């Protein structure tokens, strides 16, 4: 079992660099009062301006395991605008890991996007490959080319989701329960690679209904990914993950607004109005689709006296 307390230096670094536990903010709206429900936002976007939200949650135990094994290099994958690449590069800078990014698109360079420029400034070595090569590597992350080129590295897949990631996400659930003083009736989160929702499922009480809002078109294959992650997490036994047989969850598949990073005028209008009316912002790729689905399709079904937590997974850049 990987134990964060086993590495005092790393634990001290986390306390110095990151804001943990992240705040649990009550969302005020007259409609909630009329329905006699309480809505909270888990502000994981405030963990760190550069290692934001679920990116830190998923990286934590992967970094700890690398440090435990004496591995100083992290290799991962992503596109030119990847939040995961951005966060991993920043984590490497702050926690003294050498980082390598395998980037999709051989015509790109370190200045092709703000993400790649930032990653390069953090010290990440960028390795550009064709889209065909990238697809093959992503499907076979343990391929000979990767393992031979980076023999002493910890390899983390695109998006950062591994069986170890569920431990870090599970700690978010612990924080929510401590901050509320009880388990919430619902936890809602966006779903991209299924790492975050799997971690929430694995550590939530069966009394808490977990709702995911898939941001991808045709994303039902993620059910198999969730099943695999939960099975692997039960074998790894990392962090505080306990309840890997929880079945009290549901995923909304048709709230993607056209697919990953796609935006409808209705979604953009909702995000703009929400940001104008509240003291924090959401973005249209992840949190915007979550909040939109909550207001438009979920709110009417909440029973009175319920406590609901929406997870803000970050995604906003400084």
pLDDT in tens, 28-42: 999 999 999 999 999
**Nearest-angstrom CA–CA distance, 79 and 129:** 10
CATH match for 4-50+164-312 among 3.40.50.720, 3.30.360.10, 3.40.50.1100, 3.40.710.10: 3.40.50.1100
Q: What pTM, to 2 d.p., does this model score?
A: 0.93
Q: Are 4-50+164-312 and 73-151 equal in CATH topology?
A: yes
Summary mean pLDDT of the chain: 91
Chain centroid, CA 214 distance in Å: 13
CATH match for 73-151 among 3.40.50.1100, 3.10.20.30, 3.40.1410.10, 3.40.50.300: 3.40.50.1100
pLDDT in tens, 181-236: 999 999 999 999 999 999 999 999 999 999 999 999 999 999 999 999 998 877 66
- Residue owning tokens 């069986």: 163
Domain regions of the chain by residue span = 4-50+164-312, 73-151
Tokens at 27, concatenated = 């969302």
Q: Burial, 104: exposed, middle or buried (Cβ in 10 Å; 0-12, 13-18, 19+)? A: buried
197 sits in which H/E element? helix 195-203
Helix (H, G, I), strand (E, B) or coil at 311: strand
Strands of 249-252's sheet in order across: 24-26, 38-43, 307-312, 186-191, 209-214, 249-252
**Nearest-angstrom CA–CA distance, 224 and 193:** 11
pLDDT in tens, 134-167: 888 776 666 667 777 888 999 999 999 998 999 9
Q: What is the pLDDT of residue 244?
A: 66
DSSP secondary structure string for all residues of 140-169: -TT-HHHHHHTTTEEE--GGG--TTHHHHH
CB 3 within 8 A of CB 240: no
């Amino acid at each position: 079992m990987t134990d964060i307390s086993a590495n005092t230096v790393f634990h001290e670094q986390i306390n110095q660099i990151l804001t943990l536990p992240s705040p649990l903010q009550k969302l005020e709206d007259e409609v909630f009062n009329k329905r006699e429900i309480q809505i909270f936002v888990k502000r994981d976007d405030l963990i760190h301006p550069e290692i934001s939200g679920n990116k830190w949650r998923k990286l934590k135990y992967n970094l700890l395991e690398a440090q435990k094994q004496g591995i100083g290099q992290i290799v991962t994958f992503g596109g030119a605008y990847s939040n995961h690449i951005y966060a991993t590069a920043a984590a490497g800078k702050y926690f003294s890991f050498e980082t390598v990014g395998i980037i999709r698109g051989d015509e790109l360079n370190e200045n092709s996007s703000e993400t790649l420029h930032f990653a390069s400034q953090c010290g990440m070595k960028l390795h550009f490959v064709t889209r065909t090569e990238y697809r093959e590597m992503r499907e076979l992350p343990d391929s000979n080319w990767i393992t031979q080129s980076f023999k002493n590295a910890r390899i983390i897949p695109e998006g950062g989701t591994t069986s170890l990631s569920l431990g870090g996400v599970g700690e978010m659930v612990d924080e929510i329960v401590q901050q509320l003083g009880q388990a919430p009736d619902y936890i809602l989160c966006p779903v991209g690679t299924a790492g975050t929702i799997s971690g929430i499922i694995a550590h939530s009480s069966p009394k808490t209904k977990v709702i995911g809002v898939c941001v991808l078109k045709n994303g039902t294959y993620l059910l198999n990914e969730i099943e695999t992650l939960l099975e692997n997490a039960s074998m790894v036994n990392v962090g505080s993950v306990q309840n890997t047989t929880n079945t009290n969850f549901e995923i909304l598949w048709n709230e993607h607004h056209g697919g990953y990073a796609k935006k409808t005028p209705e979604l953009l209008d909702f995000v703009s109005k929400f940001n104008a009316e509240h003291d924090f912002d959401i973005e249209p790729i992840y949190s915007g689709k979550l909040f939109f689905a909550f207001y438009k399709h979920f709110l009417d079904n909440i029973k009175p006296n319920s406590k609901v937590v929406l997870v803000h997974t970050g995604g906003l850049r400084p």
